Amino acid sequence: MTLLRGVDWGKKSRLILWAAVGVLVLNAGRLLYMRLSPIHAQSPSRGAFTVLRTEDVSDSAGKLLGTNHYVEAVRSDGSRIWRASSDTAQGRRIWFANGDYVRTNEIAEGVTSLVEGW
């Protein structure tokens, strides 16, 4: 403790106090910025995601002929699905993580399945 006896605590403590106040002000500004900035979407862990797309189909004159909707999704276990729907057709393709595959035609109520290796 003899080392600390020669220190002028008046000036040093004020310097430490103002440095701490500066750090607190900077942190408050950072927290305010984080609160006001928009949240960025992050994908879930292990690559799971879902994508929704819409496509408008028109002729050369610009007249709308129809709208197609697509859904693509991947689960964290590796299973995938692709779905397409329009005015005339609706179908899904499902790839399971174990290797099974199913294709459906929902308008014709048909199902085709394929087990890998058969």
pLDDT at 118 over 50: no
Which pLDDT does position 46 carry in this prediction?
A: 62
pLDDT at 50 over 60: yes
Rounded to 5°, angle at Cα 95 from 89 and 98 = 155
The fraction of the chain above a pLDDT of 90, given in percent, is 21
| 79-100 tens-digit pLDDT | 899 999 888 888 888 888 888 8
More confident residue, 17 or 40: 17
Using 50, 70 and 90 to split pLDDT, how confident is the model at 112?
Answer: low
Sequence-separated contacts (24+) of 69-76 with Cβ below 8 Å: 73/49, 74/47, 74/48, 74/49, 74/50, 75/48, 76/44, 76/45, 76/46, 76/47, 76/48
Q: Facing residues of 112 across strands?
A: 103
Return mean pLDDT, the chain: 80
To the question of pTM greater than 0.75 for the whole model, the response is no
Q: Using CA atoms, how far apart are residues 75 and 39, in angstroms rounded to an integer?
A: 23
pLDDT at 26 over 90: yes
Which pLDDT does position 87 carry in this prediction?
A: 80
pLDDT at 28 over 90: yes
